Structure 1
Amino acid sequence: MYTVAVSFDVPAERRQDFIDAALEDGRQSLAHEPGTRAFDLVADAEDPDRFYLYEAYDDEAAFDAHCQGPYFARFFETVGAWAEGPTWLLRGTSVPAPTPA
């Protein structure tokens, strides 16, 4: 599983716009991109204008396909002029637990 996590800081007056755009990106990606496995929006516990996106994909190629897709583009068309980010927090492949012998 290939996972990424990023953060965004948004102006207080655009908070709901960001939430709507991120949730729509997630809904559409999960419904129409076969390699998308998880797409979670998390609001920071201490800063109401900071958000985290946690996403999981079958592999890096599925993430790359997401980045080339229409939902990703629409999200950045909506938030790109006023959201600060993405700031990369993690990007990599899950390490599976060993199989018992």
Structure 2
Amino acid sequence: MYQFLVSFTVQPEHRDDFIRAARKTGRDSLANEPGSHRFEVVADEQEADVLYLNEVYEDVDAFNAHAGGPYFTAFFAEVSAYAEGPTWLMRGNLIGDEAAA
């Protein structure tokens, strides 16, 4: 499994907009992209304006398909007006996973 964690710094007045857009992207991706396995929106416990996306895909090819798809494109078209990021915090393959070979 290919996984990553990214952060975004969101303008305070658009925090709810970002969460709504990210959750919609996650729902659409999980429902329509076969290699998508998990899409979580996580709030930083100390900085209210920092939000994380924790995502899991079958493999890097599934992520690349997601990144080239309509949900990813629509998400960034919206949030780029009020969010800085993504900042890549972690990305890689689960150790022991067949996809890591």
* TM-score relative to the length of structure 2: 0.93
The answer as to 2:7 corresponding to 1:7 is yes
Q: Separation in 1 of the partners of 2:12 and 2:80?
A: 15
- State the identity %: 54
**RMSD value, Cα:** 0.9
Shift of 1:82: 1.7
Q: Which residue of 2 aligns with 1:49?
A: 49
In structure 1, the partner of 2:88 is 88
Distance in 1, Cα, partners of 2:11 & 2:80: 12
1:69-94 CA-to-partner distances (Å, cap 9, x unmatched) read 00000100110122010000011100
* Structure-2 residue corresponding to 1:31: 31
Greater Rg by CA? 1
Cα displacement string for residues 24-77 of structure 1 (whole angstroms, at most 9, x for unaligned residues): 000000000000000000000011110000000000000000000000001001
SS at match of 1:51: strand
Residue 22 of structure 1 corresponds to 22
Runs of 4+ in 1 over 4 A off after TM superposition: none
Q: How many residues align?
A: 97
Unaligned runs of 5+ in 2: none
Amino acid at match of 1:12: P
Q: Which runs of 5+ in 1 are unaligned?
A: none
Matched position secondary structure for 2:74: helix
* Alpha-carbon separation, structure 2, partners of 1:62 and 1:46: 32
